[in-house]
Structure 1
Amino acid sequence: MRISVPVNHNFYEEAPILESTLSKSFDVNKSGVKHLQKLFSSVYELKLGAEQLKQVKVLNFKSKRNKIFKEDEERLILKLYSKEKEEKEYYIQTGLYAGILFHKGCKINITTRYGGAFLKRMLNFVNDIYVDNEQIQAKKDETENQFLFIIAHLFIQSLEKVVVLGLPQQYQKQQERSQKVRGSINFSDYLKRDIPFQGKLTTTFRERIYAQEIVDVLYLALRKLESVFGKEIHSRLLGLCQLLKQQYSGCFVNYETIQKAKRHQSIYNPMYRGFKKVLEYAEIILLNKDLMPDYEKQNLTTSGYLFDIAELYEIYLEKLLSRNFPEWFVSGQVELPIYQKQFYHRSFFPDLIMKHKTSGKIIVLDAKFKRIEMQNRDVDRADLHQIHSYSGYYKNELIASGLIYPLSKKLNLDKSHSNSLYGNDNNNIGFIVDGIYVDENQTMDELIECENRFVKRMTQLTINY
């Protein structure tokens, strides 16, 4: 049974599923309806740091993120529950983690909501791999391909970096019978076979060879990506692909082979340490379909793969602003310590800080990967309090602050920009709710044009500095 739902879904309980529409909503038969009713019968809530996450791989785009949310145990991933009303209502809520979960025989696809040009564009900025070619897309329109597309880029980026030093190799003892002496002579063989001497000797020597399990896993992972997205997906690794093809053993990779590759002694060599992460991504790519039935049979534990879509959006904005504002330092997740001598000490982590290289003036921004249609409730009270807390920290250096969203409607500047913090006209600090207009069906060129409009609006904030 499969359920597909976007990130940040149903926050206000605005989309309940009525009991009478369960079969139609999930396209299931009567036994499927009973399974769903059982699934929603008790409240199931999965949060960051929960015990159930032990079998779930949470992937981050940068390690700093783990530190920031180390003490934050309240980040919602998924919540399933029901309410007794005139007609029973079923609810699915999601946070800002996208991916695939397996729970009680049900496969839950949490999608990014924006799976077209916008997802590709964010990955381009994060990985510095520009694959704007519209040909690079899944051959089948399946929701899990969105997750596979992201893992593919992480895999290719990581592989491209570590392969500079070559593929993992190890020494293996070899024997050779020839007229040349290579290594040491095998005297026992000599006494048995070479008296009288016939011109050939058996020698034993050590030779460096590629780690076969690792070669096989990498080769088949690239082949699988090629079958889903086309050859363009690994166009920057053509030389490596040829080498892997030559060294491939021809054997099918199963779960045991993947585990052997991940535990191979060669990757404990500091020179090849980066392959640990590459092999983790390769495992996800290969298991994504080939061995999925093993996961679907698990009824007792929640398993799967997730990534932080909010982090992806933050990094995208950070690099977009860095490219377009060279006179400013643009930093993500800067730590702002407060009350460090008191027992209630804390640290703030604003998503984006822009600091002018000459004047030292500051613009502080928070990236919010949430659907916004320019209604009052779209801007959460907690988000508004948070950005104003960051603004207060910088005092006299601050010239503007704001919240940056992927926009579902075009901006009305009079309603979304304020000339003063708090809107009370007793200061010259600007406050904005802004972002980049995103549509599921827009082309890459249309998205880039929307980026340019956003950059122009940001330029108005910085024009005097």
Structure 2
Amino acid sequence: MSRQPIILAAKDCCAFLEQEGHADAIQYFLTTQSKNNIFHFNVSKEKRIDESPIISFNYQDGKWYAGRYVGEAYFNYKGQEYQITITPRFGNTQLFHMLEEVFNVRFSESNQRISKQKDIQFIIKKIIAFLWLNMLSKANKHGLPRSNKKFTYKGSKIRGRLNVRASILPMYTENNVVSNYWEKTPNEPILKILKQAYSILKYEYGLAHIKTSRAATNALEQLFSSNVSTGYLTENEYCKIVYKNIYKSFKPVVDLSWDIIRRKNFGNNNSEDTNGVSFFLDMAEIWELYLKSIIKKKIAPHGWILRNDVIQTYSNKDFKRKLIPDIVFQKENNVLVWDAKYKRMEYAYYDYDRADFFQIHTYINHYDKNFNVIAGGLLYPLSKEYSREVAYRNYSESIFGEGQDDTQFFIDGIELIHIDKESVKKQEELFLDRVHLRISKDSIAHV
């Protein structure tokens, strides 16, 4: 077996640089990969069904292309070790920027510089550990989750409420009475998940080397001072967790913790592969969460409210399906409907996917039955310069361009040609200004 692995590298949604002679190895990798190796931050199980392959073959140019995921994997094929490496096509700076926006955290410049020298797997694990720590500290504003637990007390005094039925016999035989009382105790399922996740993050994600804030340190001290068993929690117990209103802020960090626990073993399905590391982030998921966050900040002050809809269709039929639009905002009876697409967009004819157009028009038609749909469309990370000419070619004043309604339809996004932070922020602001002008003045003349 060769000591040095053959590296097959690509940027997400782009062709692999060196693939000649390795087609069989790539095909083997695809057949042994599990979608459980894809890490999710906060997307419903229904949407995960639509996951695309990590790598796919393009019959137009006869090349293998990376999908929308970034990460690394090692595998053995016919005695040769291979390393699949997929990095963000817009660079780590944009990845950090999106994560900062989504999770309301700030990665220090020193962390970003160090990360550039490390492999993508190291970066991903470090990011997850950092985000987990920040999410825990922010969720802990009212202390760790507690729940009321019923206890029974038997003695000569009453503690809480007297249990008359249970006291009849002890009162005559022991001169005691039975009473019931309630106490607030740590929520065992939640704290058990958090403890298990911390242990994994500490030893496998480098959490111990991350500088913690005072709030994070306080949350960890509370976590490990609580008297909770360390037994394994089942999937069914996790799904049954109920959050009181005061502790709802813990749900994101608990969901992230459960994903960390489930993915403790990152090996692929090849039993011969002792180095089988396979761990990927879904950039499409991060892109969607990022767009939701920045658009909400821009238009929420003007009365728009973000909706999270799961629409059940044909509920009593064998072909029942759920419609889950990515981004929906409502203001009174007006609605905005967008789908976030983390695909290549250079304004070439083949960049406009037919299935994506059918999907977004289905969403718009559904809302149009009960609401006034102001605008809808597809939002991409743009790989070419956005101009007024591009805006005109990618905008329609009505659905299907027939002029029979006033629902605007457009293709737009954020230009990410330049990867420095200042340029990214500028292009983000230009995109938000275009969106706001369209939905408020209903005219491309203002774009």
TM-score, length-normalised on structure 1? Answer: 0.63
Counterpart-to-counterpart distance in 2, 1:282 and 1:343: 34
Counterpart-to-counterpart distance in 2, 1:240 and 1:219: 18
1:377 matched to which residue of 2? 350
**Structure 1 SS opposite 2:347:** coil
1:428 paired with 2:411, answer no
**Structure 1 SS opposite 2:409:** strand
Please, which of 417, 434, 437 is the counterpart of residue 457 of structure 1? 434
Please, which of 60, 66, 69 is the counterpart of residue 40 of structure 2? 60
Sort the Cα spacing of 1:283 and 1:363 in 2 relative to 1 into closer, same or farther, 3 A.
Answer: closer
Counterpart-to-counterpart distance in 2, 1:429 and 1:264: 49
Alignment of 1:42-441 (within 5 A): 45=30, 52-53=33-34, 56-64=36-44, 66-70=45-49, 72=50, 75-79=52-56, 91-104=63-76, 105-129=81-105, 131=106, 133-139=108-114, 140-160=117-137, 165=143, 217=199, 220=202, 224=206, 231=211, 234-235=212-213, 239-240=217-218, 263=232, 278=257, 281=260, 298-299=272-273, 303-326=277-300, 327-332=303-308, 334-356=309-331, 358=332, 360-395=333-368, 397-412=372-387, 413-439=391-417, 441=419
1:39 matched to which residue of 2? 25
**Structure 1 residue 434, shift from structure 2 partner:** 0.6
**Structure 2 SS opposite 1:373:** coil
Counterpart-to-counterpart distance in 2, 1:238 and 1:375: 48
Sort the Cα spacing of 1:283 and 1:220 in 2 relative to 1 into closer, same or farther, 3 A.
Answer: farther
**Structure 1 residue 7, shift from structure 2 partner:** 2.3
Q: Which amino acid aligns with 1:373?
A: E
Counterpart-to-counterpart distance in 1, 2:198 and 2:104: 27
**Structure 2 SS opposite 1:463:** helix
Residue pair 1:218, 1:279 contacting (<8 A) in 2 also: no
**Structure 2 SS opposite 1:402:** strand
Counterpart-to-counterpart distance in 1, 2:276 and 2:336: 41
Sort the Cα spacing of 1:107 and 1:235 in 2 relative to 1 into closer, same or farther, 3 A.
Answer: farther
Residue pair 2:307, 2:329 contacting (<8 A) in 1 also: yes
Q: Which amino acid aligns with 1:117?
A: T
Counterpart-to-counterpart distance in 2, 1:132 and 1:145: 15
**Structure 2 SS opposite 1:136:** helix
In structure 2, stretches of 5+ residues that fail to align are 146-190, 244-249, 443-447
Counterpart-to-counterpart distance in 2, 1:371 and 1:391: 23
**Structure 1 residue 353, shift from structure 2 partner:** 0.8
Residue pair 1:221, 1:282 contacting (<8 A) in 2 also: no
Counterpart-to-counterpart distance in 1, 2:128 and 2:279: 10
**Structure 1 residue 282, shift from structure 2 partner:** 8.8
Q: What is the percentage of aligned positions where both structures have the same residue?
A: 22
Counterpart-to-counterpart distance in 2, 1:301 and 1:449: 42
Counterpart-to-counterpart distance in 1, 2:64 and 2:127: 24
Q: Which amino acid aligns with 2:94?
A: F
2:155 matched to which residue of 1? none
Counterpart-to-counterpart distance in 1, 2:131 and 2:208: 15
**Structure 1 residue 368, shift from structure 2 partner:** 0.5
Residue pair 2:68, 2:282 contacting (<8 A) in 1 also: yes
Sort the Cα spacing of 1:113 and 1:240 in 2 relative to 1 into closer, same or farther, 3 A.
Answer: farther
Q: Deviations over 1:352-405 (max 9, x none)?
A: 11111x3x1111101011121122221111112211221222226212111101
Q: Deviations over 1:328-349 (max 9, x none)?
A: 11234x2223333444332211
Q: Deviations over 1:399-422 (max 9, x none)?
A: 211110111222231122222222
Counterpart-to-counterpart distance in 2, 1:81 and 1:402: 26
**Structure 1 residue 161, shift from structure 2 partner:** 5.2
**Structure 1 SS opposite 2:83:** strand
**Structure 1 SS opposite 2:366:** helix
Residue pair 2:197, 2:258 contacting (<8 A) in 1 also: no
**Structure 1 residue 279, shift from structure 2 partner:** 8.3
Sort the Cα spacing of 1:283 and 1:237 in 2 relative to 1 into closer, same or farther, 3 A.
Answer: farther
Residue pair 2:125, 2:205 contacting (<8 A) in 1 also: no
Q: RMSD of aligned C-alpha atoms?
A: 4.5
Q: Deviations over 1:157-178 (max 9, x none)?
A: 34425666469xxxxxxxxxxx
**Structure 2 SS opposite 1:106:** strand
Q: Which amino acid aligns with 1:322?
A: K
116-125 vs 299-308, greater mean Cα deviation: 299-308
1:3 matched to which residue of 2? 8
Residue pair 1:8, 1:95 contacting (<8 A) in 2 also: yes
Sort the Cα spacing of 1:17 and 1:57 in 2 relative to 1 into closer, same or farther, 3 A.
Answer: closer
Residue pair 1:99, 1:306 contacting (<8 A) in 2 also: yes
**Structure 1 residue 459, shift from structure 2 partner:** 1.0
Sort the Cα spacing of 1:301 and 1:117 in 2 relative to 1 into closer, same or farther, 3 A.
Answer: closer
Q: Deviations over 1:409-451 (max 9, x none)?
A: 22231122222222233332211111111235322x3322222
1:204 matched to which residue of 2? none
Considering only CA atoms, is the larger Rg found in Structure 1 or Structure 2? 1
**Structure 2 SS opposite 1:410:** coil
**Structure 1 residue 464, shift from structure 2 partner:** 4.8
Sort the Cα spacing of 1:219 and 1:462 in 2 relative to 1 into closer, same or farther, 3 A.
Answer: closer
**Structure 1 residue 141, shift from structure 2 partner:** 4.6
**Structure 1 SS opposite 2:34:** helix
TM-score, length-normalised on structure 2? Answer: 0.66
Counterpart-to-counterpart distance in 2, 1:222 and 1:236: 23
**Structure 2 SS opposite 1:61:** coil
**Structure 1 residue 312, shift from structure 2 partner:** 1.2
Q: Which amino acid aligns with 1:350?
A: P
Residue pair 2:41, 2:256 contacting (<8 A) in 1 also: no
**Structure 1 residue 38, shift from structure 2 partner:** 5.4
Residue pair 2:40, 2:259 contacting (<8 A) in 1 also: no
**Structure 1 residue 82, shift from structure 2 partner:** 11
Sort the Cα spacing of 1:403 and 1:277 in 2 relative to 1 into closer, same or farther, 3 A.
Answer: closer
Sort the Cα spacing of 1:362 and 1:45 in 2 relative to 1 into closer, same or farther, 3 A.
Answer: same
